[in-house]
Structure 1
Amino acid sequence: MGIRNKLFVIFLSTFLVLTLAASGFYYLSFLRSLETYLDERQQAQVERLADHLGLLYQQRGGWQFLMDDPRQLKRLYRLAGDRDEDRDSRGDHRHLQLLDAQKQRLFGPTAPRKFRSEIPVRSGNTTVGYLTYPDQEAIRDKLDQRFMGRQLRFMGWMLFVGVVLSLLVSWLLARHLVAPILALSNHTRDLQEGHYSARLETRRRDELGTLTEQVNQLAQRLDQGQQARQRWFSDIAHELRTPVAILQGELEAISDGIRPLSPEFIKSLEGEVAQLTHLINDLHDLALADGGNLRYRFHREDLADLLGEVVDSYRNSFSQQSISLETRIPDLAVIDMDPVRIRQLLDNLLQNSLKYTASGGTLSLSLTHTGDNWELLLEDSAPGVPDEALPRLFDHLYRVESSRNRRTGGAGLGLAICQRIVEAHGGTIGAEHSPLGGVRIRITLPGETS
C-alpha cells in the first residue's frame, strides 16, 4: 500500500471515529436533555395545578366537585399552563392521579410507585391531598416516538454528510501531503540518473518545503561538483599535456637528428621532467588532502623559529629577483603543528610570491598574536589580481589570466594545497588586495602567546 493510500485510510478512520463519536454524544445528550426538559415542564405544570386545586379545595370544602365532574381536571390542567393542542389531544392529564391526605386514590389511573412523582396539594398550611404523575418513560406514546424518529433520521443524514465530508477531506489531505513527496521521489530519481540541473519549485513553508529546499541545494552541490570534476579532469589533462608534448617534441627532434644531444639540451629536458614531477606530486598531495588521507604529525613547535628559518632560505632567491623582503617575526609563537606540512605551506606561499612579484618589488611578512590565534600576513607588490579572482585563488588548477600569470611556473595547485594544510591545523586562509599593490594572504592558526 502506497503512502497516499495509507494516509487516506488513516485520515478517513480518524474522521469517521470522530464523526461517530460526535453523533453518538449529540444523540445521547439530546435524549437526556429532552427527557429532563419534559420532566421539568410537567412537574412545573403539576405544581401549578396543585396550587389551583388547593384553592378550589378551600373554596369548595372538599374534593366532591371533582368527583362530580372529572372533566374539570382537564380545564384546570390547561389553566396550569399546557397550551399544546397535541398534548391535549394526547390527554396527558389522564395520567394524573389524585390522592387524598391519607394517599388513598380518589380518581385517576394507578401508577406504580417506582415510576411516579408526588406533588402535595395544600390548603393553607394543611396538606389535603397529592397529585401523582408518571415519569416520561412510562407515558411515552406514538407522538414521542415519531419525534424521536425524526431526530434519528436527522442524525442519519448528519452521519451521512459527515462520512462524505470525511472521504473528501481525507482524499484532499492525502493528496496535499503526498504530492510534494512524489515530486521529491521523482526528483531524486532524476538526480540518481545524473540530471543535476533540474530544480523543484515550492511555496510551502512547512517541513516538506524545507526538505524540498534542501534537496534543491543538494542538486546544486551535485551539479557544481560535476562541473568541478569535469573542469578538474580537463585542467589536469591540459597541465600534463604541455610538458609531455615538449618532451615528445624534443625527443623526436633528437631521433630525427634535427637537434644534437648536448648537455644544455639534456638540462632542458631535465627541467621539463622536474616540472612534470612537481605537478604529479602536487596532484597526489591534493588528492590525499581532499580525501582526508594526507598524514599529519602534530607537535608543540615554535612557529616563529620555523618561519624565520624558511624565510632565511629564500633571501638569496628574492635578492636575485631584486625583491625586497621585509619581516616582522616575534621571538616565540608556540602552536600545535606538523612542521613538515607547515614548511610545505610556507614554501608554496613564498614560491608563489617569488614567481609573480615584479622585479624591484616588495614582499612583507609579519606574524602577530590576536586573541587566541596567531595571524600570518604575506603582502606582495604589483601585479595584483581582479576582484572576481580573489575567492577563486584557492581552487584547483586556477590561475589568473593577467600579468601575474606572465610566467609559466606552476599549475595553480600550490594555494589549493595551502588551504588544505591550514584547515587541517584548525585555521583559516584568505586572499585580499594588498596595500602594496599585489595580493595579501591572511592565515590564522590557533596557538598560545608563550
Structure 2
Amino acid sequence: MRNKKHKSLLLWISTRIIVVAASVLFIIMFAMWSIYAVQYYWVIHHMSPAEYQEFLTLRANPHINISRFHEIVDAGWGIGYSTPSITSLNWGWLLIFLILATPFIILRCLRAARPLTAQFSSLTEVAEIVAQGNFNQQAKLVTDGPEEMLRFSNNFNKMISQLALYERELKASHVAAAHELRSPLTAAMGRLQGMIDHVFPADEKQLNMVMTQLKSLSHLTDDLHFLSLASAGQLTLHRNVLNLESVLKERLTWLKPQLEAANMSVSIEADDEFYYVGDEFRLGQVFNIILENMLRYCSKGDRMFVRLRHTPQGFEITFQDTGPGVAIDYLPHIFERFTRGERSRARDLGGSGLGLSIAKEICVAHQGSITATMPVDKGLLITVNLPILPHKLIDSLPEDTGR
C-alpha cells in the first residue's frame, strides 16, 4: 500500500488561501453576472417584438442611431444605468454580496484551518498530561495536515515513548541498584556484627572477607557513577593517538593467568596497523570487559578469535568465542544494566551486570557502537565499530602522544 504523500506547510497553507480567495471571487462574479442576466431578461421580456429587434440592431451597430439606442437603454434599464456614480446600483449589489459572502469566508477559513487546530489541540492536551508525569498518552495524528506537522507529531509521540522507556528503565535500574548495593553491604555488616557478638573471631581472615565485600561495593558505586556521567553526557575522554592492537595485547597480558587457568587460547588477526584517536584507558576497559565476559561464559578448552580490520566507516574489532553463547531471549538485553546470562546469575560469577553497559557507553562516547550476535555455528560474536580518525586531528596532536 502506497503511503499518502503530504504537502509541505508552505504549499498546504498557500493552497487553502488561494482556494478561499478564488472561491470568494467566483461567487461575487457569478452573483454580479446573475443580477445582470436577471435584469437583462426582465427588461427584454417587457419589450415588444419590434422594439426588441430594433434594440438588437442598434446594439450591434449603435452608429446607425446612437440617440435612439440610448433612449431604449434608458427606458428599459433606467437613466442611472449608464451614469458613473459611487452610489449606483452595481456598487450597492457588490456591498450586499460582500456582506453575504463574509460568513462563507469565515466558515471556509475555519474549515481550512481545522487540521492545524485539531493537531495543535491534541498536542497541547497530551503535553499537559506528560508535564504531570504521565507518559502513557499519545497525540492523535491528523492525516490531512501538512508534512511538517505530521513529522512533528510523530516525533512528539516518539519522544513520549522514549520518555516512558527511560522512566521504566530508571525505575528498574533503581530497584536493581538498591539490590546490588544491599548485597555486599549486608554481607559486610553481618560479618562485622558476628565479630562484635563473638560469633566469628576478629582475625585477619574475617577482616579480609569484610574488605572483599567493601571493595565490591566500591567498584559498584564507581560503575554507577560512570554510567550516570555517561547518561548525562558528562563523560570526559582523554584522547590521544593509540594503537588498538597494542592496547588489546596489553589487556590480554593482564588476563593471561585466567586464560591459562581455563586452558583457553586467544588469537589476534590484524593485517595492518590500527592507529586511532581515543581514550586509551577507556577503550582498554572495553576490551577488558568483553574478554572477561567471554571468559566467564566459555568452558575450559574453548578458543577466542579477535580480528581487527578497516571498514569504509572506520575500524571494526570483532571478538568471537567457541563457547555455548548466551540464551536467545537474553541477547537483546545483553547491554542493559544489571542483566546477566543464565550462566552468570550469581554475583560472584557474573559481576554486577554493568560491564557491557559500561562498554556500550564508552563506545558511544567515541561516536562508535557495539553489538552482539549469535553466529550460526557456535559461540558469541561481539563487534566494536569505531569511526575513522580525521587526519587533521592526528596532525594537531603533540609528538609524544604515541603516534
Larger radius of gyration: 1
The answer to whether residue 143 in structure 2 is matched with residue 204 in structure 1 is: yes
Q: CA deviation at 1:176?
A: 4.5
Q: Following the alignment from structure 1 to structure 2, what is the Cα–Cα distance between the partners of residues 91 and 236?
A: 104
Q: 1:42-68 CA deviation, whole Å, 9 max, x = no partner? A: xxxxxxxxxxxxxxxxxxxxxxxxxxx
Within 5 A, what are the aligned runs for 1:360-375?
360-371=301-312, 373-375=314-316
Contact 2:368–2:386 at 8 Å: present in 1 too?
yes
How has the CA–CA distance of structure 1 residues 19 and 428 changed in structure 2, closer, same or farther, with 3 Å as cutoff?
closer
- Specify the alignment match of 1:141 in structure 2: 74
Greater Cα offset, 314-323 or 405-414: 405-414
Cα separation, partners in 2 of 1:156 and 1:186, compared to 1, 3 Å = same
Q: CA offset at residue 377 of structure 1?
A: 1.6
The question of whether the paired residues in 2 share the 8 Å contact of 1:384 and 1:439 is answered with: yes
CA distance in 1, matches of 2:345, 2:176: 16
Counterpart among 171, 178, 185 of residue 117 in structure 2? 178
Consecutive unaligned residues of structure 1, counting only runs of 5 or more, are 1-10, 36-81, 97-115, 120-131
Distance 1:365 1:167, change over 3 A: closer
Paired letter, 1:271 = T
Please tell me whether the aligned partners of residues 427 and 446 of structure 1 are also in contact (alpha carbons under 8 angstroms).
Answer: yes
> How many residue pairs are counted as aligned between the two chains?
358
Shift in alpha-carbon separation, 1:288–1:90, aligned structure 2, 3 A: closer
2:343 paired with 1:403: yes
**1:381 to partner: Cα distance:** 3.4
Gap change, CA 1:358 and 1:171, over 3 Å in 2: same
- 2:9 corresponds in structure 1 to none
2:132 alignment partner in structure 1: 193
What is the distance in 2 between the residues matched to 1:368 and 1:90? 99
Residue 368 of structure 1 and its aligned partner are, at CA, apart by: 2.7
Larger relative strand fraction:
1
Residues 383, 403 of structure 1: 8 Å contact kept: no
**1:260 positional shift:** 0.8
Name the SS for the 1:364 alignment partner: strand
CA distance in 1, matches of 2:26, 2:189: 89
| Aligned position for 1:392 | 333
- Of 334, 340, 343 in structure 1, the residue corresponding to residue 275 of structure 2 is 334
Superposed, which structure 2 residues align to 1:7-86 within 5 Å?
Answer: 19=24, 23=28, 27=32, 85-86=47-48
Deviation at 1:317, TM superposition (A): 1.6
Q: Name the TM-score, length of structure 1 as normaliser.
A: 0.68
Counterpart selection for 2:104 from 160, 165, 175:
165
Distance 1:163 1:404, change over 3 A: same
Opposite residue 212 of structure 1, the aligned amino acid is S
1:385, 1:404 within 8 Å by CA — same for their partners in 2? no
Task: Indicate conservation of the 8 Å contact 2:298/2:321, yes or no.
Answer: yes
Q: Residue 286 of structure 1 corresponds to which residue in structure 2?
A: 227
- Is 1:343 matched with 2:343? no
Return the match for 1:424 from 341, 356, 365.
Answer: 365
1:8 maps to none
Residue 213 (str. 1) matches residue 119 (str. 2): no
Aligned to 2:121, the other structure's residue is in SS state helix
* Counterparts of 2:156 and 2:276, CA distance in 1: 41
Cα 1:136/1:414, change in 2 over 3 Å: farther
**1:258 CA displacement:** 0.7
Aligned partners of 1:203, 1:91: CA distance in 2, in Å? 62
Mark the runs of 5 or more structure 2 residues left unpaired by the alignment: 1-15, 82-87, 390-402
| TM-score in terms of structure 2 length | 0.75
